[in-house]
Amino acid sequence: MIWILDITLLLFLVVCAIAAISIKDLLSAVIILSAYSLIMAIVWVEMQSVDVGFTEAAVGAGITTVLFIATLARTEGRSED
């Protein structure tokens, strides 16, 4: 574990989480959530848990984003808060 890379990735994770919940456009929020999942996958591979890392990259960053975008296509893409 390289500690400077670890700390940078974890801080970026917090920035992504705050951006995902505070942005008003829902499609942007979902794409930022996908980036959040991808950074989380990188953190896990870096922490030597490779199996969880690639499951998160495929399922968390892939399928979850597809489900969210399919929902947004059937509903509205704007949020009040």
Q: Please, what is the minimum distance in Å from the beta carbon of residue 44 to other proteins?
A: 6
Look up residue 57 and give its two tokens: 């990259």
User: Which positions from 11 through 30 interact with other proteins, judged by CB under 8 A?
Assistant: 11, 13-14, 17-18, 20-21, 26, 29-30
Q: Please, what is the minimum distance in Å from the beta carbon of residue 36 to other proteins?
A: 7
Q: Please, what is the minimum distance in Å from the beta carbon of residue 55 to other proteins?
A: 5
Check if the beta carbon of residue 61 is closer than 8 Å to that of residue 16: no
Residue 76 touching other proteins (CB under 8 A): yes
